[in-house]
Amino acid sequence: MSFTFKDFPADRDDFRSDVLAGLAACPKSIPPKYFYDEAGCRLFESICAQPEYTLTRTEGALMASRLSDIAAAIGPMDCIVEPGAGECAKVRLLLQALHPAHLVVLDIAGGPLSIAAQSLSRDHPGLAVTALGMDFIHDLEAAAPHLPEGRRLIYYPGSSIGNFAPGAATALLTRFRRLAGAAGQLLIGFDLKKDPLQLHAAYNDAAGVTAAFNLNLLERLNRELDANFDTSRFRHYAFYNPTAGRIEMHLASLAAQDVSVAGQRFHFALGETLHTENSYKFRPDEFSALATNAGWPLKAEWELDGFAVQLYGNVD
């Protein structure tokens, strides 16, 4: 077994600075990457199991049913790189099909990533696994020295690209292209536009797990930044914006109130929201246009029940 873990705490965004800047902005917002503390990671796994949230199950079914076609389209690969790998579950299918020599996984939640990647390494004794605990959105380029030479596949599943506005998505895809190198490829999954009622239900599950996930952000601020949010005075609010083509998640203030965070005071008016996440939905041609603008030519694509996976090849 070959397993390496490296943490990059000095390279991460300053949580305190980002939060204070977001609360001082108008409208108030906090980057969604800060959802994923230990409790947030557990809650997100539970979201993926809710009956209303079909995205994860559909992507898994698509990958399983078309795996041989996907592997044939990709061809031989020396290394798979997965940014935002989380529990390292989705990459296992690709490992079985492609048999790369190296796997490099990146995630801001370094502790859970290390545990998951080490378990994966035990299951694949011939695979060299490198886990990098890092905020890849902030400093993706820091991963480059830890990548082996050869043909690289950037794997970005789960519609995570939907968290970025179109310009930011194009910028991230451009950085992926540079990280992949001259012979690199990109395999990416994204949620498709569909019935707004279906999208609304997915982010407002009956069990309230998504609401708990959203409110846990305030609990994290209380735990880590000496904040005094009363979560009973905020309401999870998520809706589909058809004009922008995105789900928006907010925390709405149920009263006029002041809160203290890291020694600074912030006022919330009645009904004012803290914007916590966007999740863009695409038509296949809309997404391929983003990727083309980032320098990725489309090679192949697959769809199942409102979810798409596309394969791109690099051009330097």
Domain membership flag for residue 253: yes
Domain membership flag for residue 30: yes
Given a contact cutoff of 8 angstroms between Cβ atoms, the answer to whether 91 and 85 are in contact is yes
Q: From CA 270, how far away is CA 256, in angstroms rounded?
A: 4
Domain membership flag for residue 70: no
Domain membership flag for residue 128: no
Q: What proportion of the chain, given as a percentage, has pLDDT over 90?
A: 92
Domain membership flag for residue 197: no
**Distance from CA of residue 62 to its chain's centroid?**
19
Q: Per residue in 220-251, pLDDT tens?
A: 999 999 999 999 999 999 999 999 999 999 99
At residue 246, what are phi and psi to the nearest 5 degrees? -150, 150
Instruction: Give the β-pairing of 234-241 and 185-191.
Output: unpaired
Q: Cα dist. 216→116, 224, 275 in Å?
A: 22, 12, 14
Structure-block tokens of residue 139: 């400093």
Domain membership flag for residue 238: yes
| Domain count of the fold of the chain | 1
Q: Per residue in 7-44, pLDDT tens?
A: 987 545 588 999 999 999 999 999 999 999 989 999 99
- If you count them, how many residues does the chain have? 316
Q: Per residue in 184-207, pLDDT tens?
A: 999 999 999 999 999 999 999 999
Domain membership flag for residue 5: no
> What's the pLDDT at 10?
56
- pLDDT of 146 over the 80 cut: yes
Q: Per residue in 111-139, pLDDT tens?
A: 899 999 999 999 999 999 999 999 899 88
Residue of higher predicted confidence among 86 and 308: 308
What is the model's pTM? 0.94
Domain membership flag for residue 29: yes
Can you spell out the DSSP letters for 65-95?
HTHHHHHHHH---SEEEEET-TTS-THHHHH
Which amino acid is located at 311 in the chain? L
Structural domain harbouring 254: 15-45+209-280
What are the residue ranges of helices labelled H in the chain?
Answer: 15-24, 38-48, 55-65, 67-74, 91-98, 110-123, 136-139, 166-180, 196-202, 209-224, 284-293
Residues contacting residue 224 through CB under 8 Å, at least 6 positions apart: 15, 37
